[in-house]
Amino acid sequence: MLRVHTYGSGMGMQAKTSTLQRWQFSAAVLLPVVLALVITAAAVLAFVFWTTTNIDQRAVERQQAMLQGVMATRRGLLVQQLGTVATRNDTVVNAGVILNFQWVDANLGKWLHDVYGHDLTVVLDAAGHPLYIMENGVTVEQPAFEQLAAPLRALIDDVRAMPVQPTTAGHFAPARALSDLAVIDGMPAMIGVMAISSATGTVAQSPGTQTLLAGIKLLDQQASDYLSREFMFENGHFSLTRPDDEARAVFPVFSNSGRFVAFFEWDRDRPGLMMLRHMGPALLAAFIIAAVLVFLLLRQLRQSSAAIEAGRKNAEYQAAHDRLTGLPNRASLDGALARALTEQSAPNSYVALLMLDLDRFKQVNDTLGHQAGDELICAVGRRIRTIVGPDVLIARLGGDEFVVMIEAQEYDVDPTAVASRIIDTIGKPFDLQQFKAHVGASIGIVSAVGGNAEPRELMRKADIALYEAKSGGRNRAVVYEEHMNELVQLQHTIEGELREALQREDQLNVVFQPLVDQHSREVIGAEALARWHHPKFGHISPARFIPVAEATGLIDALGEFVLRRACALGATAPGRTIAVNISPTQLRNPRFANQVFDILRQSGMQPADLELEITESILLDDEHVSAQHLKTFRAAGIHIALDDFGTGYSSLSYLKRYPVDRIKIDRSFVMQLSDGHVSVAITQAIVTLAHAMDLEVTAEGVETEEQAFILSQLGCNTLQGFLFSGGVAAERISTLFAAQDTPAKRRSTTHAA
Ligand code: C2E
Ligand code: MG
Ligand code: MG
C-alpha cells in the first residue's frame, strides 16, 4: 500500500488554513481588542455614573448645610424682631409695670404682625400667664391660647429661669431670650420668647415682676416660598411626613430638645444628572466613533496581516517548488525525505528513491530550442505522475533531473517495476506545440527499509546508481549496489590525480604497439597507447583512467597530448600507419576536427598515415557531430578503424552508413582461437564479410604463434599483440621502422588470403 501524502493539489488545505487563520486572528487580535473596548466603555460609564451621583449627593449635602444655617439665622432674626420692641423703655412701662392694652395692641401686637409677619404674639406675666394674645392680627381670648401654647411652655420656663444681668454704665444688658422649633396646631413653627426689660436700665423693674414677649412664625407655605425663592430650593415646603419620592431631597428639622419637628423637602438639585444629560450624546458619539475606528483599524490590520500571510505562503511555496513544473524542488525533497526516514522507522516500512535523468534532452534543447525543452520537462513531469499517482512525491532537481520518492510497506511496491513503467512512458514520442520529441530516461534506484538511512547518503547512492545506468548504455534503470560506491570513490581519486598529471611532464607518457603484417611479419605501423605512471600508485591502467577522463572532460586534454606524441612520431616515419584511440566524447566535440588538422599541420605528418580508432558506441550514438567529423576525416585521407570489434552490437549494417577502413577484431575472440572452436567460424565470417566490404582486418591481442597462424589462415591482414611486442617507446619504434626497408606497402597485401 502506498502511503498517502498530499503532494498533488494543495487547494483543500489552503481553504482549511484560511478558516483556521481567520479563527486565529479572531482569537489573537479581535477578541482582546473588543474586550478592551467593552471594558473601557464599562469603566468610563461606571466612572461617569459614580461622578454624577457623587456630584448630586454633594449638591444635596450643600443645600442641607445651607438650610441648617438658614434656619438658625431665621430663628435669630425672630428673636431680633422681638427685641425691637421688648427692650424699649415704653414697652417696659406699658407692658410690664401695668398692662396698657391699647398701647400693647398697637405697638406690639400690630407692629410684630404687620411689620414682621408674626402669626402669634403673646405677652405673659412673670408667672407665665398670658396677658395679651394676638393671632393673625386679631386679639384672642386666653382659653384659646392654652392649647396653642403648650409647645411654648418649656421655652417660656427656660427664659424665666435665665438670670437677670445687672446693667452697667454705658452698656446694654444682654436680653434674656431663646428660640426653638415646634409643631403648633399641627403646623411646624419657629418660636421666640424674650423677657421685656429696659436695655438702658433706666426703667426699674423689681425682680419677679418681669413680663415676657413671645412670637411665633408658622413655617407655612408662605415661609416655604420665601425660603425657596431666597435660597433657590425648587418647590420647597415643610411637611410632617417624609416624602416617598426619590426626586425630592429632605432635611429634618428638630427642636432644641432634639424632638422631630418637620421635614423641609424640595426638588432634588441634580447637577451631575444634568451634566450627564448634556454630555451623554457626545459621549455616545465618541464611543461609536471609537468603535468604528477600531473596527476599521482591525479590518485594515486583518487585511494587511492576510496580505503578509499570503506573501509568506507564496514565498514559502516558491522556495519549495520548481518554478517551471510547479513540482517540489530539491529543498522540498530533502525535507520530505528526512521526514519519511524518521516517520518510516517501523521495521518493514520502506522508502525508495528513483532518480531520473533524461537521455538526449540536451539535443532537444539545442536543436528545438529552450521553449520546447521547457515544454518537454513539464510533459515528462505529467507522464511520471500518471505512472506513480497523485500521492507520490515527484521532485524536479533542476535541468532534466527528477526524483520520485515512494513510501510504502516493504514488498508492497516494486520500484524496479515502477521505474521500467516510467522508462516506457517517457520513451514514447512527445507531441510538443511545434515539434515532436524523442527522449529516453535513465533511472538510479535506491531504497531504505525501516528508516535505516541518512537522507543525503540515500541521495548520493541514487545518484551513483543513475550514473551507472547512464554509463551502462542509458534508457534503463539500475538498482544501487555497494560496489558502485567503491568505483565512484576511486573515480574521485583518479580524477584529481589525473588533473594534476596533465599539468606535469613526468607522469603521462605514450607508448606505441607495433602493427605487424601477417604475411611478411614486418612492422607496418603502431598504435599509440596512453601510459600513466603515478609516483604513489605506480602504473595505472588506461582501462581505469580513460573512463574517468571521459566522464570529467579531461579526455580532450589527454587526447590532444597523445595525438601530439603520435603525430610527432608519424612525421618522422612517412608511409607508416600511426593509430590513435579516440573516445566518443572527443568525437562529439565540435572543435575536434580542427584540433586534429592543426596538430597534423604543426607536426608535418601526412593525414594518410594517421588512423583514428573509434569504438562501435560512436556509431550507435547516432550523433550528428560525430558522423560529420568521420566524414571530414575520411575526406582528408585520414583512416578510420573500428576498435574492439565483436564486443558490442557488431552490426555490420552500421559500417555501411559510416564507412571505415579497418576493423580490429577484439582480443576476446583471439584468445579463444584454437582448433575447432566456434570463435574460428565467427572470425572467419567477420573476415569474409569485411573483405567483401573492402575493409582491412586487424587482430588484436595475439599472444601465441598458434593464434598468429590461425589468423593468417583466416585472412587477417595485420596482427597486433604481445607475441610481437607490447607498447614501446617512440625511439624504439623508430628504430624498428628504420630496421626495415622502405615502408611496407601495407595495403598491398590486402586480401592476400
Ligand atoms: P585498445 O585500443 O583495444 O588497445 C589494446 C589494448 O590491448 C592495450 O591495452 C594493449 O596494451 C593491450 N594488448 C595489446 N596486445 C596484447 C596482448 O597480446 N595481450 C594482452 N593481454 N593485451 C594486449 P591498454 O594500453 O591497457 O589500453 C586499454 C584500452 O585503453 C585501449 O584498448 C584503448 O581503448 C584505451 N586507450 C589506451 N590509450 C588510449 C588513448 O590514448 N586514448 C583513448 N581514447 N583510449 C586509449
Ligand atoms: Mg585501440
Ligand atoms: Mg582494442
Query: Measured in angstroms, how far is the CA atom of residue 457 from the centroid of ligand 2?
Result: 38
C-alpha pair distances (Å), 140 with each of 134, 214, 729: 6, 15, 173
Region 694-721 average pLDDT: 95
Best mean pLDDT range from 141-145, 537-541, 712-716? 712-716
Distance CA 328, CA 6 (A): 12
**pLDDT digit string (tens) for 658-707?**
778 999 998 878 888 876 677 788 889 889 989 999 999 999 999 999 99
Distance CA 182, CA 186 (A): 10
Distance CA 553, CA 547 (A): 10
Distance CA 191, CA 155 (A): 9
Query: Measured in angstroms, how far is the CA atom of residue 644 from the centroid of ligand 2?
Result: 7
Ligand 1 atom 17: residue of nearest CA: 701
The CA R_g of the chain, rounded to the nearest whole Å, is: 66
**pLDDT digit string (tens) for 301-311?**
888 888 998 99
Q: How many residues are recorded in the chain?
A: 753
**Residue (of 509, 541, 524) closest to 720 by Cα position:** 524
Ligand with minimal distance to 613 CA: 2
Ligand 1 atom 8: residue of nearest CA: 529
Yes or no: say if 397 and 403 are a contact pair by the CB < 8 Å rule.
yes
Percent of the chain at pLDDT > 70 equals 90
| 727 CA closest ligand 1 atom index | 11
pLDDT of residue 144: 62
Contacts of 52-59 with CB under 8 Å at 24 or more apart are 52/270, 52/272, 52/273, 52/275, 52/276, 53/272, 54/272, 55/271, 55/272, 55/275, 56/268, 56/269, 56/270, 56/271, 56/272, 56/273, 59/268, 59/269, 59/270, 59/271, 59/272
| 615 CA closest ligand 1 atom index | 34
pLDDT of residue 21: 67
**pLDDT digit string (tens) for 352-403?**
999 999 987 887 887 788 899 999 999 999 999 999 999 999 999 989 999 9
Our mutation pick for probing the ligand 1 site, out of 494, 529, 644, 671, counting the most ligand atoms within 8 A of Cβ, is 529
Distance CA 63, CA 48 (A): 22
Distance CA 717, CA 578 (A): 16
Using a 6 Å CB cutoff, which residues line ligand 1? Answer: 513, 529-530, 541-543, 546, 559, 562, 581-583, 613, 643-644, 667, 700-703, 720-722, 727
Percent of the chain at pLDDT > 90 equals 47
**Residue (of 153, 279, 280, 151) closest to 218 by Cα position:** 151
Yes or no: say if 353 and 405 are a contact pair by the CB < 8 Å rule.
yes
Q: Is 243 exposed, middle or buried (0-12, 13-18, 19+ CB in 10 A)?
A: middle
Please provide the DSSP assignment of 184-252 as one string.
ETTEEEEEEEEE---SSS-S---TT---EEEEEEE--HHHHHHHHHHHT-EEEEEESS----TTEEEEE
Query: Measured in angstroms, how far is the CA atom of residue 664 from the centroid of ligand 2?
Result: 8
Task: Give the Cβ contact number of residue 485 at 10 Å.
Answer: 15
Q: pLDDT category, 213, cuts 50, 70, 90?
A: very high
Ligand 1 atom 33: residue of nearest CA: 581
**Residue (of 223, 284, 309) closest to 14 by Cα position:** 309
Yes or no: say if 446 and 353 are a contact pair by the CB < 8 Å rule.
yes
Query: Measured in angstroms, how far is the CA atom of residue 744 from the centroid of ligand 1?
Result: 24
pLDDT of residue 344: 64
Query: Measured in angstroms, how far is the CA atom of residue 640 from the centroid of ligand 1?
Result: 17
pLDDT of residue 620: 63
| Half-sphere CA count of 577, side-chain side, radius 13 A | 31
For the ranges 209-213, 372-376, 487-491, which has the lowest average pLDDT? 487-491
Instruction: For the chain, list the domains and their CATH numbers.
Output: 330-480 (3.30.70.270), 506-752 (3.20.20.450)
Q: Name the strand (E) or helix (H) holding 375.
A: helix 370-388
Spatial strand order of the sheet with 234-239 comes to 234-239, 260-267, 248-254
Query: Measured in angstroms, how far is the CA atom of residue 508 from the centroid of ligand 2?
Result: 18
Query: Measured in angstroms, how far is the CA atom of residue 642 from the centroid of ligand 3?
Result: 9
**pLDDT digit string (tens) for 554-585?**
999 999 999 999 999 999 999 999 999 999 88
**What ranges in 321-369 are assigned the alpha helix state H?**
330-343, 361-368
- The residue assigned the cell 476599521 is 296
Distance CA 481, CA 478 (A): 9
Nine cell digits for residue 181: 422649633
Taking 80 as the threshold, does the pLDDT of residue 463 lie above it?
yes
How many helices (H) does the chain have, and how many strands (E)?
26, 25
The single-letter DSSP state of residue 78 is H
Distance CA 39, CA 25 (A): 20
Ligand 1 atom 37: residue of nearest CA: 529
**Residue (of 422, 427, 421, 424) closest to 440 by Cα position:** 427
Q: What b/e string do you get for 556-591 counting C-beta neighbours within 10 Å, with b at 16 or more?
A: bebbbbbbebbbbbbbebebbbbbbbbbbbbbebee
Taking 70 as the threshold, does the pLDDT of residue 753 lie above it?
no
Ligand 1 atom 35: residue of nearest CA: 542
pLDDT of residue 588: 85
Ligand 1 atom 45: residue of nearest CA: 581
Spatial strand order of the sheet with 401-409 comes to 393-398, 401-409, 349-359, 440-449, 477-479
**pLDDT digit string (tens) for 237-281?**
999 999 888 889 999 999 988 999 999 999 988 888 888 888 888
Region 291-302 average pLDDT: 87
For 65, residues 6+ apart whose C-beta sits below 8 A from its C-beta are: none
C-alpha pair distances (Å), 661 with each of 327, 515, 573, 642, 693: 51, 15, 20, 8, 9
- What's the sign of the alpha-carbon dihedral 233, 234, 238, 241? negative
Query: Measured in angstroms, how far is the CA atom of residue 277 from the centroid of ligand 2?
Result: 113
Distance CA 576, CA 512 (A): 12
Yes or no: say if 635 and 661 are a contact pair by the CB < 8 Å rule.
no
C-alpha pair distances (Å), 44 with each of 273, 283, 295, 353, 631: 15, 9, 19, 67, 99
Average pLDDT, the chain: 86
Query: Measured in angstroms, how far is the CA atom of residue 527 from the centroid of ligand 1?
Result: 9
| 550 CA closest ligand 1 atom index | 44
Ligand 1 atom 21: residue of nearest CA: 701
Ligand 1 atom 27: residue of nearest CA: 542
E-strand ranges in 477-544 read: 477-479, 508-517, 523-534, 538-540
Best mean pLDDT range from 57-61, 150-154, 714-718? 714-718
Distance CA 110, CA 16 (A): 101
Query: Measured in angstroms, how far is the CA atom of residue 698 from the centroid of ligand 3?
Result: 10
pLDDT of residue 742: 59
Ligand with minimal distance to 509 CA: 1
pLDDT of residue 642: 92
Q: pLDDT category, 18, cuts 50, 70, 90?
A: low
Task: Give the Cβ contact number of residue 555 at 10 Å.
Answer: 23
- In the chain the first and final C-alpha atoms are separated, in Å, by 67
Q: 169 vs 426, which has greater pLDDT?
A: 426
**pLDDT digit string (tens) for 219-234?**
999 989 988 898 888 8
Distance CA 246, CA 249 (A): 8
Q: 319 vs 490, which has greater pLDDT?
A: 319
For 388, residues 6+ apart whose C-beta sits below 8 A from its C-beta are: 394, 404, 406, 418, 422
Distance CA 7, CA 5 (A): 6
> Which three-class secondary structure state does DSSP give residue 287?
helix
Query: Measured in angstroms, how far is the CA atom of residue 529 from the centroid of ligand 1?
Result: 6
Region 339-364 average pLDDT: 84
Q: What b/e string do you get for 407-429 counting C-beta neighbours within 10 Å, with b at 16 or more?
A: bbeeeebebbebbeebbeebeee
Taking 50 as the threshold, does the pLDDT of residue 12 lie above it?
no
Taking 50 as the threshold, does the pLDDT of residue 6 lie above it?
no
For 165, residues 6+ apart whose C-beta sits below 8 A from its C-beta are: 173, 174, 176
Ligand with minimal distance to 579 CA: 2
Please work out, in degrees rounded to the nearest 5, the angle formed at the alpha carbon of residue 129 by the alpha carbons of 123 and 131: 40
Query: Measured in angstroms, how far is the CA atom of residue 579 from the centroid of ligand 2?
Result: 8
**What ranges in 87-99 are assigned the alpha helix state H?**
89-92
Ligand with minimal distance to 543 CA: 1
Yes or no: say if 355 and 462 are a contact pair by the CB < 8 Å rule.
yes
Nine cell digits for residue 535: 609516483
Distance CA 108, CA 215 (A): 10
Yes or no: say if 137 and 129 are a contact pair by the CB < 8 Å rule.
no
**DSSP β-ladder status, 393-398 and 401-409:** antiparallel
Our mutation pick for probing the ligand 1 site, out of 540, 581, 614, counting the most ligand atoms within 8 A of Cβ, is 581
- The residue assigned the cell 617512440 is 730
Ligand 1 atom 24: residue of nearest CA: 542
| 702 CA closest ligand 1 atom index | 18
